Amino acid sequence: MSLLLLGRWPDAERDRWLSLLQAALPNERILLARPSQAAEVEVAIVANPEPGSLVGLPNLRLIQSVWAGVDRLLLDPDLPPEVPLARMVDPAMNEAMVHTALWAVLSLHRHFFDLARQQRDGVWRQPAQRRAAELSVLVLGLGELGGRVARALAAQGYAVSAWSTRPSEQAGLRCLAGEAALQAALAEAEVVINLLPLTPATQQFFDAARLAQMRRGAALVNLARGAHVDESALLQALASGQLGHAVLDVFAQEPLAPGHAFWQHPQVTVLPHCAAQTDARSAAAVVLGNLRALREGRPLAHLVSRQRGY
């Protein structure tokens, strides 16, 4: 079985993946460029490859993404429609996302962002200390990441609700679905964490109308995709007091431009798209598991529904 490793990444990152995959798959041939005999490629291991790069591989049996999000991959009009596509569900990345979400909620709950400003200004003022159960948190998205984050926050005592586009049930969670339930939950929540997949239906999900539905003074934590948020509308909501704070890990354009208003905004915390990164060590084991399943004719894990977009 010949494997084709393709992606838009620095050489050092590509080489790291190559080394880990070679160690995990010593009997496989791993290619870094399309061979002259395209028929020998059976699996493509990809990280947002260039559009059209998977065309003309007649024996391709699996496209395995090493990133969790596949929205950019699905924008390729030449992506072979008949080949199964699997996204990455990396246990280490899931754990990192939980840590970031906990940090963001704890920082908002205990006023740590405000206290950091007070230190810069030399101000000594003790904030009120609320119980976790008194803070309402809404997690948007109930996939691998959203479900884990919601459960971890609930375990810390926060009043957690979780909303998804489709009805879902998860033990110990208040699960919601539908537009009416979303509007009611947004009006109630003091912290909203976005972990929705990016699809045509969720593009610019947080526009001016959606932000106006949120509880006045609430905080938005966007850990999903920059395209979920209308940045101009967000700045207006912060200026008007409709929103009190935004923690942003992802942006419409990355890296964030040096002169962007978010950099120096007192109500915005900027992260350089680092909330949860794929850990190549554990992700290589996930790839290996799907290759073994393919070889043995077993069901593949984490297949993407192209109709849903995730």
Across the 310 residues of the chain, what is the mean pLDDT of every consecutive 10-residue run?
A: 90 93 90 91 95 95 94 94 96 97 98 97 97 98 96 98 93 93 98 97 97 98 98 98 98 97 98 95 93 96 93
Active site residues: 225, 273
Give the per-residue pLDDT at 107. Answer: 98
Give the per-residue pLDDT at 27. Answer: 87
Give the per-residue pLDDT at 36. Answer: 85
At 133, list the tokens.
């159960």
Give the per-residue pLDDT at 171. Answer: 84
Task: Give, in degrees to the nearest 5, the angle at Cα 203 between 63 and 193.
Answer: 95
Domains of the chain: 2-90+278-296 (3.40.50.720), 91-270 (3.40.50.720)
Give the per-residue pLDDT at 1. Answer: 67
Amino acid symbol at 140: L
